[in-house]
């Protein structure tokens, strides 16, 4: 089996670290061939706060995935999340020196590089620069400007920004675990890749990934990412509230939430009681399910209202365009009973639970298609995409060498024939890879 057919995603979450190994089957679907899970001990709200513990958890998850698949893991695609992530909209333009020639990938690259020079707050770094619509000589709403004539090229960008130190700490943990970083991806984008269909992205949808430490939001419209946000609350604060409200230990609070928890208090009758063993010979504790769901309900409402506020803020920005059509819930928090109904009640929008089976092979077991693994599945898909792109680029280079063609041998009179095969994904990739190369160099030099 070739290495470029296999990919590994590493989801470093607040409650768990997941290593997932996958490959593309003959039908272009993804098969999961190994999975490893470890309790995440050194991460708080998506940010590494204990390097040693995080390294141990990563190594444990990797060893489990290797044992499960019988393969050795060398490099991984890692998800970046946490409360330090923010996004902004930015417009920029370039005046082309040669308007009589068609726009090509290098023009878009020049424009994107200009955005990378934006001055950020101290300690922040641009992670993703995602072009949205383009304008050529004032003509708006162009999705693909390559091959067009024009002197002024403008674009709206979705810029994702994060704390340099937080991103580098993740990189340090991965390298210290004996692994190579092949790429980093924003986790809401990975989750979206795993659970959303292209039709939903076109119609307009908000993906809400409720994790242990944070709730990630990604809004799509017309097939383009429009807004991302990270809300610093997740399933962990619900457990914390149960622990405080019922005066029990965290382990019992988590079990109560998973087994008996509901986001809708009206569902439980007053006489439904669960008994919890007392500590060190103390009397068992009795808790009514109605009280339990009231505690959960209060915190879930807070999280949903924060999400809804972000969605509405996006709507105000885009006043000319209709708000999104619906919401998709994923992540561990999406498994809470009646959360779908509560989200529909608060937002008035159609809601569904997102399972990461959009691109998975039909025979995948039910555990791996759980919303808990949405980010990990998305990271593996991302890794497979990068591998196949590199593979295609290598084949193209080999063909050029074999035919004796070099980039300088292209005749000047026929620029259009060279431009047509170029796709917009190329400049995006190269810019991000340039940033990623710098990031890798930093990690290597720091050793």
For the chain, residues with pLDDT lower than 70 are 1-4, 268, 316-323, 390-447
pLDDT of residue 425: 38
Which one, of 134, 56, 124, 210, lies nearest residue 427 by Cα? 134
Q: How many other CB atoms are found less than 10 A from the CB of residue 16?
A: 20
Phi, psi of 353, deg, nearest 5: -85, 130
Q: Evaluate if pTM is beyond 0.85.
A: no
Instruction: Compute the distance between CA of residue 89 and CA of residue 161 in angstroms, rounded to an integer.
Output: 11
pLDDT of residue 423: 36
- b/e 282-296 (16+ beta carbons within 10 angstroms → b): eeeeebebbbbbebb
pLDDT of residue 428: 46
Give the per-residue SS3 of 158-181.
Answer: EEEEEEHHHHHHHHHHHHHCCCEE
Q: How many other CB atoms are found less than 10 A from the CB of residue 419?
A: 17
- Architecture per CATH, 235-290: Alpha-Beta Complex (3.90)
pLDDT of residue 4: 55
For residue range 294-315, list pLDDT tens digits in order. 999 999 999 999 999 998 887 7
Residue 19 Cα distances to 171, 189, 253, 384, 440, angstroms: 15, 18, 26, 15, 21
pLDDT of residue 440: 66
Domain ranges in the chain are: 235-290
Strand partners, 91: 156
Length of the chain (residues): 447
User: Where do the DSSP E strands lie in 104-234?
Assistant: 124-136, 139-142, 152-163, 180-186, 205-210, 215-221, 224-231
Beta-carbon contacts of residue 86 (< 8 Å; ≥ 6 apart): 160, 161, 162, 229, 230
Instruction: Compute the distance between CA of residue 96 and CA of residue 98 in angstroms, rounded to an integer.
Output: 5
pLDDT of residue 403: 55
pLDDT of residue 92: 93
pLDDT of residue 45: 82
- b/e 182-219 (16+ beta carbons within 10 angstroms → b): bbbbbbbbbbbbbbbeeebbebbbbbbbbbbbbbbbbb
Report CA torsion sign: 248, 252, 257, 260.
negative
Instruction: Compute the distance between CA of residue 157 and CA of residue 112 in angstroms, rounded to an integer.
Output: 9
């Amino acid at each position: 089996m070739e290495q470029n057919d296999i990919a590994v995603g590493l989801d470093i979450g607040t409650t768990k670290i997941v290593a997932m190994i996958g490959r593309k089957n003959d039908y272009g679907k993804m098969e999961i061939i190994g999975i490893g899970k470890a309790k995440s001990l050194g991460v708080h709200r998506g940010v590494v706060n204990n390097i040693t513990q995080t390294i141990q958890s990563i190594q444990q998850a990797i060893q489990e995935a290797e044992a499960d698949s019988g393969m050795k893991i060398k490099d991984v695609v890692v998800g970046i999340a946490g409360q330090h992530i923010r996004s902004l909209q930015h417009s920029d333009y370039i005046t082309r020196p040669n308007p009589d020639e068609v726009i090509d990938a290098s023009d878009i690259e020049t424009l994107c590089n200009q955005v990378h020079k934006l001055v950020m707050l101290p300690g922040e770094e641009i992670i993703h620069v995602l072009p949205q619509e383009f304008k050529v000589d004032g003509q708006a709403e162009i999705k693909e400007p390559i091959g067009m004539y024009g002197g002024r090229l403008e674009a709206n960008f979705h810029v994702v920004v994060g704390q340099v130190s937080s991103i580098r700490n993740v990189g340090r943990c991965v390298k210290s675990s004996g692994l190579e970083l092949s790429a980093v991806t924003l986790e809401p984008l990975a989750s979206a890749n795993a659970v959303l269909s292209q039709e939903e992205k076109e119609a307009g949808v908000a993906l809400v990934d409720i994790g242990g430490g944070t709730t990630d939001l990604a809004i799509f419209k017309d097939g383009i990412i429009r807004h991302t946000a990270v809300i610093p609350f997740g399933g962990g604060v619900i457990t914390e509230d149960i622990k405080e409200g019922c005066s029990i230990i965290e382990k019992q609070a988590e079990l109560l939430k998973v087994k008996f928890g509901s986001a809708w208090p009206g569902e439980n009758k007053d006489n439904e009681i669960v008994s919890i063993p007392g500590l060190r010979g103390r009397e068992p504790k009795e808790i009514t399910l109605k009280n339990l769901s009231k505690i959960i309900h209060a915190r879930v409402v807070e999280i949903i209202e924060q999400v809804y506020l972000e969605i509405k803020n996006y709507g105000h920005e885009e006043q000319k365009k209709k708000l999104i059509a619906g919401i998709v819930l994923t992540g561990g928090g999406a498994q809470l009973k009646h959360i779908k109904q509560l989200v529909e009640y608060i937002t008035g929008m159609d809601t569904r639970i997102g399972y990461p089976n959009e691109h998975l092979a039909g025979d995948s077991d039910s555990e791996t298609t759980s919303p808990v693994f949405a980010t990990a599945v998305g990271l593996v898909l991302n890794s497979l995409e990068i591998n196949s792109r590199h593979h295609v680029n290598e084949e193209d280079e080999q063909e050029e060498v074999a035919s004796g063609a070099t980039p300088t041998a292209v005749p000047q009179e026929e620029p259009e024939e060279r431009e047509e095969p170029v796709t917009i994904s190329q400049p995006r990739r190269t810019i991000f890879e340039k940033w990623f190369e710098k990031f890798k160099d930093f990690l290597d030099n720091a050793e």
